[in-house]
Structure 1
């Protein structure tokens, strides 16, 4: 261990001093360090048994690569202490508002207070995970250990951070890191020789497991079949390796999950359930058939577009494959009166609807609201679209009538209308 006040050499970042210990794990210790400028960073210092030449070279490679996305708490530089054997690396500190992802399932923060995580925040979380791993894989890297323990989230917005990035390596490279049980791909679990190593395809399985947990509050392979038996390597291999069975398999029902998972399953639209079917039926034992990060990104955008608020106040999702599906609380139809068509995407008109930068092909990483749907204050059956930008719009009607919609103004929505924004057009259509 390093004592408080220890001077640490951060290479090109200059010196820093250890201020306090903030955590520890199997590989080493995490300290807070302060540079002369006052900047605070997190230092991971490896235990002697983990401070191998291979690990050192791996960290150097990651430093040279640079972070693929701002959501990664990526190694910024190597760290050494004069006269002390071993090494470490520094990264940005995680803000306290970010919680371990396991808190989402518990629905409690570290003090036991109930969390208030909206569906919008949940979708944002899934979208950011897909985008972050898409960028990682595009750099020729694989994460190798996607799991609860390595993702943190901010409950109010769904913003995420990905940590423990020293496990990242070159895709299809040699690795001693196989992953976390229950998140590892079946081909890795089933290989008793440990010759099957993580790669992009195994990452995609782990990502799908993580997304399923976030959306449905359970594991996709856990159900009645996994309830019994000693949870030893043989049990793990049987239920998460060669014998793994999706708990919501469309034909095989012997591994059905707890009721809460099935309730969430029924809440989401058909297209999302079909995509998870691809992930855990077609792609479970066929790595090349797994859902890609780009597919998840499009699905999360589509899911956000389908989100509606029922008249009773509950959140639900319009399903164009089942347009008369009812609200989970009151049973009313969730079909909206109108849809906004933006390119190929369709947004269900409700009090939750927005047109964002990603609808227009811009600002896709941090989608910024461009327009918001508003109900008429005296007549909830009438809807308007509010201009959230600093540029005027033009609303066009049949017969070449048109009006200008100033910044901050709202235009009433009618079928057949076209609203021209700075970056594209919105068409008002019926479901």
Structure 2
């Protein structure tokens, strides 16, 4: 919304021509500006009292560098910053569209479909933000923009530079909006650090507000609201179904009891599946977008700061896959009546087999498939019948998990110790069981009545291996699947990625399967899904 330039407002900031005033906030003023290349951008100018504080400038520079690591598909991209300018400023992508606060103010509480889209979009953004090692700290409806192509979360990460600057932030003063602050932000004696779970709490309050038009802890004053957040359960009247359960978990007082952003996303996508949203082999690359966006998923709990490079070997390759197929996720999950036309238009949904519906090979991996115009195969069509991948991903086909690099197959005998073999016998047969956007890997060996699913086990030395585990969705038993290329027989090959522990790998020295984050090292182990008939 335009406020018009006021006397004393700058007309130039660095190389940017200031065009208009967009608004004011607790951290500074936001202007619409034009870059030297002619692009419209949003410039946030820091409040004058911070200008001469070297501690603030250092923190501001550090936080900007972190924010630049966040992928831009669901956030306002950080384009530039000058912490040494007087006053310091930050340049981000200018996003056309009202804020969620404005939408709720003008339209009232959102309908079920709109609400679910907002919940998914913000959870996706938080997954990407946390995956880059950034904490938002000021998530609220005013910082969620409803753009024509989807939602954008803005003002992420920079609040820490303000909040952590001792000269300007007193012990009892925090940056943010009280109604969306987690309990640990008020109670410094709790021993709970302010981390990603604080953003999850804000997500819960935001979704509840969007559903009901009121804050779940609303009081007559900021102090009363803070006391309710600290001592009272949320008022979720008017919010029902599975979404109510997710919001309730997000609003737990104990940060450790809240789900991660990635777990929220799993829960929301599971609801979409149950509600009839499309989930098929053609959506695999789109689902990989979300998985790659959750690259530092463990950082949601502050346990590690590993980026997507630690998940799929090369961070660059992982993000190319993610960004190349993000439109598939948005087109499936976000209704056009809220966010505008589908982003794909005439593009086909990616086929994880590397072929189009017409049977022509796709050039390259998931991102190449995403750009190939074709019609998705319909159930019962010849192409669908000839390709078992959709049925494999739905858990309807038995498969061999063929280790491409050693030309061997995984095997789970009745003792529950995973090995490799020649692919013969019941010990080598598995099925994939979909759980949200991830999978459990279950043996169909009838001799394994207990612990038939693969899970990650950590020994006393910290080494991680795959063993038989109970078939319950946990951080140890859920795996994402990422398309990596083809094996020597021309079959698609995949990486199996555990969000908590890393990719599944083969050790040529130990002659065993293990799990480990790789940093920037190349991914050495991929798998073919070899069809072995109906379950």
Normalised by the shorter chain, which TM-score bucket? 0.5 to 0.7
TM-superposed CA distance for 1:139, in Å, is 3.2
TM-superposed CA distance for 1:370, in Å, is 12
Distance in 1 (CA, whole Å) between partners of 2:145 and 2:103 is: 10
Q: Structure 1: 5+ residue runs without aligned partners?
A: 10-14, 109-113, 249-256, 308-347, 373-386, 395-405
Distance in 2 (CA, whole Å) between partners of 1:423 and 1:169 is: 49
Task: Name the structure 2 match of 1:132.
Answer: 125
2:272 corresponds to 1:304: yes
TM-superposed CA distance for 1:232, in Å, is 5.6
Aligned ranges 1:275-314 → 2 under 5 Å: 275-280=246-251, 283-284=252-253, 286-307=254-275
Task: Name the structure 1 match of 2:101.
Answer: 102
Structure with the bigger percentage of helix: 2
Distance in 1 (CA, whole Å) between partners of 2:48 and 2:165 is: 24
TM-score by length of 2: 0.49
2:288 corresponds to 1:362: yes
Distance in 1 (CA, whole Å) between partners of 2:221 and 2:377 is: 61
Aligned ranges 1:229-378 → 2 under 5 Å: 230-231=220-221, 233=223, 235-241=224-230, 243-247=231-235, 257=237, 261=238, 264-265=239-240, 268-269=241-242, 272-280=243-251, 283-284=252-253, 286-307=254-275, 348=276, 353=278, 355=280, 357-358=283-284, 361-364=287-290, 366=326, 368=328
TM-superposed CA distance for 1:422, in Å, is 7.7
Distance in 2 (CA, whole Å) between partners of 1:164 and 1:35 is: 22
Aligned ranges 1:8-23 → 2 under 5 Å: 8-9=13-14, 15-23=15-23
- Partners of 2:349 and 2:376 within 8 A in 1: yes
> Against the structure 1 CA distance between its residues 164 and 3, is the aligned structure 2 distance closer, same or farther, given a 3 Å change threshold?
farther
Distance in 1 (CA, whole Å) between partners of 2:331 and 2:141 is: 35
- Partners of 1:73 and 1:92 within 8 A in 2: yes
- Partners of 1:122 and 1:158 within 8 A in 2: no
Distance in 2 (CA, whole Å) between partners of 1:217 and 1:201 is: 23
Distance in 2 (CA, whole Å) between partners of 1:300 and 1:411 is: 26
- Partners of 2:56 and 2:161 within 8 A in 1: no
> Against the structure 1 CA distance between its residues 25 and 214, is the aligned structure 2 distance closer, same or farther, given a 3 Å change threshold?
closer
TM-superposed CA distance for 1:159, in Å, is 2.4
2:167 corresponds to 1:166: no
> Against the structure 1 CA distance between its residues 137 and 363, is the aligned structure 2 distance closer, same or farther, given a 3 Å change threshold?
closer
**SS of aligned partner of 2:20:** strand
Distance in 2 (CA, whole Å) between partners of 1:106 and 1:274 is: 25
Within the candidate set 132, 141, 145, 2:134 is matched to 141
Aligned ranges 1:22-37 → 2 under 5 Å: 22-37=22-37
CA shift digits 1:322-375 (9 cap, x unpaired): xxxxxxxxxxxxxxxxxxxxxxxxxx4xxx645462488534362527999xxx
Q: Cα RMSD (Å) of the superposition?
A: 4.3
- Partners of 1:43 and 1:88 within 8 A in 2: yes
Distance in 2 (CA, whole Å) between partners of 1:5 and 1:148 is: 28
2:70 corresponds to 1:68: yes
Distance in 2 (CA, whole Å) between partners of 1:428 and 1:290 is: 33
**SS of aligned partner of 1:99:** coil
Within the candidate set 175, 181, 185, 1:184 is matched to 181
2:47 corresponds to 1:59: no
> Against the structure 1 CA distance between its residues 5 and 359, is the aligned structure 2 distance closer, same or farther, given a 3 Å change threshold?
closer
TM-score by length of 1: 0.59
- Partners of 2:357 and 2:377 within 8 A in 1: no
> Against the structure 1 CA distance between its residues 118 and 21, is the aligned structure 2 distance closer, same or farther, given a 3 Å change threshold?
same
> Against the structure 1 CA distance between its residues 104 and 302, is the aligned structure 2 distance closer, same or farther, given a 3 Å change threshold?
farther
Distance in 2 (CA, whole Å) between partners of 1:181 and 1:392 is: 52
TM-superposed CA distance for 1:5, in Å, is 7.7
TM-superposed CA distance for 1:409, in Å, is 5.6
Distance in 2 (CA, whole Å) between partners of 1:292 and 1:164 is: 17
> Against the structure 1 CA distance between its residues 103 and 24, is the aligned structure 2 distance closer, same or farther, given a 3 Å change threshold?
closer
